[in-house]
């Protein structure tokens, strides 16, 4: 077929193609206008009663109040969040399946070479919802009162400071690993089967250090049972009053937990926008703030693009430290 004939046929087909594209755009727009028309499912890859579960139920209730159809929270805990995430990845991209993602899911995915999904390829970001700082705390008998003193002691006594976590590959474990890589220190990791026994041993003085989120630690610090050294966020936070950011001593150090909402890749952009707008409105509700504080989180919100950028940066940061340490899920 010569080029002239091909161009003639393309010109003849162009009106039909434009009509088809216009019809598809109108159909997508109509779907968003009528959305949601039935029950939504929000998959939470965490146990009932956990902070992600509580926040998902709060957001789900506000979406139900705004739109009418119920939002059902579907808890699919297990394998570090991978069970629920795999389920969401296989779901139809129609806006009726939502997924709560936390840093734990990111780390679990990076540590498991058998993951059947890709967080960037298989999901579309909707909105960052909350962030949560971590705090470095020590037993009062440990002769350090700030981060600089911790670094000095760790360098003077390599491997002698014992730090605990709820398991190998958990965010608190990898947080300390990042700290060590940036400060040239060497401490000894003690992996527990869950956070509670690690915290109990810290309070008892069996280990010296833990990095953990704030709700449980604030009362222990104010009661003198633990001593706070610093907070892992770039700026001071009301969730850890009186503690300076660790980055004032370790330039560039920043670690924070976060919860974000995603949908399966291919979900219509208008539906993503509608979800994002309503979630942003919900996060501004004054009644949320007290509950969020008790959970140790701060409402933030974001655009889908901002959450997508955060996801990629988190994958790069945690992937680097997981590779360097050889951390694996337990």
- As annotated, the residues of the chain forming the CATH 3.40.190.150 domain(s) are 37-132+256-325
Strand 162-165 and strand 209-213: pairing? parallel
Query: Which residues partner with 212 through β-bridges?
Result: 135
pLDDT at 6 over 60: no
HSE of 328, CA atoms in CB hemisphere, 13 A: 4
Tell which residue, 247, 106, 226, has the closest CA to residue 179. 247
Q: CATH class for domain 37-132+256-325?
A: alpha beta
> What are 16-53's pLDDT values in tens digits?
555 555 444 444 455 578 999 999 999 999 999 988 99
> What are 187-209's pLDDT values in tens digits?
999 999 888 999 999 999 999 99
Residues 43 and 87: their CA atoms lie apart, in Å, by 8
pTM of the model: 0.85
Is residue 225 within 8 Å of 204, Cβ to Cβ? no
- As annotated, the residues of the chain forming the CATH 3.40.190.10 domain(s) are 133-248
> What are 147-161's pLDDT values in tens digits?
999 999 999 999 999
Tell which residue, 280, 328, 316, 257, has the closest CA to residue 52. 257
CATH 3.40.50.720 fits 133-248, yes or no: no
Residues 146 and 230: their CA atoms lie apart, in Å, by 7
Backbone angles phi, psi at 236, to 5 degrees: -60, 150
Tokens of 249: 């001593």
């Amino acid at each position: 077929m010569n080029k002239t004939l091909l161009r003639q046929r393309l010109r003849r087909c162009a009106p039909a193609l434009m009509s088809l594209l216009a019809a598809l755009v109108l159909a997508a727009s109509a779907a968003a206008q009528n959305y949601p028309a039935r029950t939504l499912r929000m998959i939470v890859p965490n146990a009932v009663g956990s902070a992600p579960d509580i926040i998902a139920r709060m957001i789900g209730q506000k979406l139900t109040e705004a739109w009418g159809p119920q939002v059902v929270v579907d808890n699919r805990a297990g394998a570090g969040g991978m069970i629920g995430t795999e389920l969401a990845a296989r779901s139809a991209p129609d806006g009726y399946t939502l997924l709560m993602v936390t840093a734990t899911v990111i780390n679990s995915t990076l540590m498991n070479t058998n993951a059947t999904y890709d967080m960037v390829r298989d999901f579309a970001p909707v909105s960052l919802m909350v962030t949560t700082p971590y705090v470095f705390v020590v037993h009062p008998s440990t002769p350090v009162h700030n981060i600089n003193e911790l670094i000095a002691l760790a360098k003077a006594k390599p491997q002698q400071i014992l730090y605990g976590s709820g398991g190998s590959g958990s965010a608190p474990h990898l947080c300390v690993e990042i700290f060590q890589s940036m400060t040239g220190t060497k401490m000894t990791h003690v992996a527990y089967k869950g956070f509670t026994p690690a915290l109990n041993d810290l309070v008892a003085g069996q280990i010296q250090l833990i990095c953990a989120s704030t709700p449980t630690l604030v009362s222990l610090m104010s009661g003198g049972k633990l001593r706070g050294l610093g907070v892992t966020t770039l700026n001071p936070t009301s969730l850890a009053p009186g503690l300076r950011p660790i980055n004032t001593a370790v330039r560039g150090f920043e670690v924070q937990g976060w919860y974000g909402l995603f949908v399966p890749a291919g979900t219509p952009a208008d539906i993503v926008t509608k979800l994002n707008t309503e979630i942003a409105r919900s996060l501004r509700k004054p009644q949320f703030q007290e509950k969020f504080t008790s959970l140790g989180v701060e409402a933030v919100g974001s655009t889908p693009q901002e959450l997508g950028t955060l996801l990629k940066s988190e994958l790069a940061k945690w992937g680097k430290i997981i590779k360097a340490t050889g951390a694996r899920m337990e």
